Amino acid sequence: MSPDTPPVALWTHGWYAPARQVRSPNFGPRPAQACIDLLVVHSISLPPGVYGGPEVEQLFTNRLDWDADPYFQTIQGLQVSAHFFIRRDGALVQFVGCDDRAWHAGTSSYRGRENCNDDSIGVELEGLEGDTFTPAQYQSLADLVQAIAHHYPLAHMAGHEHIAPGRKLDPGPGFQWSALLPLLANLSISAPATKNN
């Protein structure tokens, strides 16, 4: 890059340049005055425990073949999304711009607020509740959190299990907050107290 070349913007209308974009139709506007200060960590694999396929991207873009696997019949018609998806090798995919409201949290409450979709960013890790996650995923997540925190007023992180207790269990005990938090030591972000911290 020559000295006269302007730097590439990391963020454009909520889209993060280093992520591969696969745009989901499952989103909407955030409420007026929403403060985007929460990041929610999820886990997903389709079928459960199967990694590396296109099914998660197909689900988030309403293109999943419901007849391709018996499990898909149990979620048929589901219209969901997340802002980001981190694959087992650390590859980052973005489905919804962070300025918009993705459909990832469902009925939820955290830090005294209901409807966490309104003011959170949802990140799905390719994985299974109770399974472990890869070093590449922790590093990719940490890099993403750093970038988000420099662009949005991020102050809290939680798992889906913390914002919807009793209804959701992900990312589960296999997710090691203790592996992530040292990578974020320069940030002032609260995280849930968990047994694996």
pLDDT tens readout for residues 138-177: 999 999 999 999 999 999 999 999 999 999 999 999 999 9
Strand extents, DSSP E, the chain:
11-12, 15-16, 20-21, 27-29, 38-44, 84-86, 92-94, 100-102, 109-110, 113-114, 120-126, 156-159
Tokens of 170: 């992900």
Q: What is the mean pLDDT of residues 60-84?
A: 97
Give residue 130's pLDDT: 86
55 assigned to active site:
no
Give residue 148's pLDDT: 98
Query: Is it the case that residue 2 has pLDDT exceeding 60?
Result: no
| Distance between CA atoms of residues 125 and 138, nearest Å | 9
**Token pair 């589960």 in the structure block, residue:** 172
Mean pLDDT score across all residues of the chain: 94
Question: Is the alpha carbon torsion for 55, 22, 118, 124 positive or negative?
Answer: positive
The whole-model pTM stands at 0.94
Catalytic residue among 55, 57, 114, 124: 124
Query: Is it the case that residue 40 has pLDDT exceeding 60?
Result: yes
Domain boundaries, the chain: 32-184
| Distance between CA atoms of residues 182 and 178, nearest Å | 7
Query: Is it the case that residue 5 has pLDDT exceeding 90?
Result: no
Q: Please choose, from the candidates 135, 113, 177, 145, the residue with its C-alpha nearest in 3D space to the C-alpha of residue 39.
A: 145
What residues form DSSP beta bridges with 38? 120, 156
Give residue 4's pLDDT: 63
Q: What pLDDT digit, counting tens, does each position of 103-141 carry? A: 999 999 999 999 999 999 999 999 999 899 999 999 999
Query: Is it the case that residue 189 has pLDDT exceeding 90?
Result: yes
Give residue 197's pLDDT: 42
| Distance between CA atoms of residues 81 and 101, nearest Å | 9
Give residue 6's pLDDT: 61
Q: Which CATH class is domain 32-184?
A: alpha beta
Q: What percent of the chain has pLDDT over 70?
A: 93
Give residue 136's pLDDT: 98
- Measured CA to CA in angstroms, residue 132 lies from 78, 171, 174, 193 at distances of 26, 9, 4, 18
